[in-house]
Amino acid sequence: MIPVPAGVRIWLASGHTDMRRGMRGLALQVQQGLGREPFCGDVFFFRGRSGSLIKAIWHDGVGLSLFAKRLDKGRFIWPQTTDGAVSLTAGQVGYLLEAIDWRNPQQTWRPQSAG
């Protein structure tokens, strides 16, 4: 999991993104497509068309970082809207990175007895 400091806002860019883009291309998409400042310290997540790859950019005050994660199976859960960005909490991002539905997380298994 990406260690996100307290107070950092996390955004999902809705829709799909060309995953060939690097730091500069994604920062430009944040600025022009989302209308936000890419160097303000917020984390911005992007998902590819197939849904198995996400990238995140984050400017920590010193430089821009690029994170990527590809799933072997399944897809990342993404918002249905096609324009804009959706804000998430750090807990929801933890679910997202584990490929769990962050919109409605549910416990899937509960032990019935200790022995």
Mean pLDDT of 7-24: 91
Give CA–CA dist 40/102, Å, rounded.
25
- Domain interval for residue 26: 10-97
> What is the C-alpha to C-alpha distance for residues 115 and 112, in angstroms, rounded to an integer?
9
Of the listed ranges 26-30, 80-84, 87-91, the least confidently predicted one is: 80-84
Per-residue pLDDT at 82: 66
Residue 5 lies in a domain: no
- The pLDDT confidence band at residue 22, using thresholds 50, 70 and 90, is very high
Give domain status of residue 74, yes or no. yes
Over range 37-59, report the average pLDDT.
Answer: 93
Residue 103 lies in a domain: no
Residue 22: inside a domain: yes
CATH number at residue 37: 3.30.505
**38 lies in some domain:** yes
The reported pLDDT for the residue numbered 3 is 66
Average pLDDT over residues 3-15: 84
Classify residue 113: in a domain, yes or no.
no
Residue 112: inside a domain, yes or no? no
Say if 106 falls within a structural domain. Answer: no
Amino acid (1-letter code) at residue 39 = F
Q: Name the pLDDT band for 110 (thresholds 50, 70, 90).
A: low
Torsion from C-alpha of 105, 108, 112, 115, nearest 10 degrees? -110
Q: pLDDT band at 106, cuts 50/70/90?
A: low
What is the tally of structural domains in the chain?
1
Residue from 4, 46, 53 nearest 27 by CA: 46
